[in-house]
Structure 1
Amino acid sequence: NFESALCAQDPQFWESRKHASYATLIKLREFNSISPIKFRKKDRRGWVVLKPKIIDKKLTDYL
């Protein structure tokens, strides 16, 4: 139940989204914060998958 984490106890929140096509909710338990990585992309994806050949030394320190 993500309701409390979203601060979405108001029924109007869910009513306004009842016709949404999709939603992605991911609960993370363990994670490490890293410095932002500049990466040029030309589409609207919210993330990209970095393949080993393009990961720089800074990122590999956190893997």
Structure 2
Amino acid sequence: MKERHSKLHSVAFTPSEFEKIKKVGSEFNVSFADVVCECIKRELPRLIDRENKRKQAQQNKGE
């Protein structure tokens, strides 16, 4: 069963980001929220990984 989105929060996008998300949603007949959620699921772990490595490198520099 598909998970429902139950929390409402405001998120700001640049006009070009908004248009890209809207275009993908229209092209593949999925909701705007589904496109955003898919981006988060795929890219959030990469962002966390990258920032943890950056943080570790900064800490190693300070030692």
Q: Name the structure where helix makes up a greater proportion of residues.
A: 2
Bigger relative contact order (CA 8 A; separation at least 6) = 1
TM-score in same-fold range (> 0.5): no
Instruction: Give the structure with higher Rg (CA).
Output: 1
Q: TM-score range by the shorter chain?
A: under 0.3
What TM-score results when the alignment is normalised by the length of structure 1? Answer: 0.25
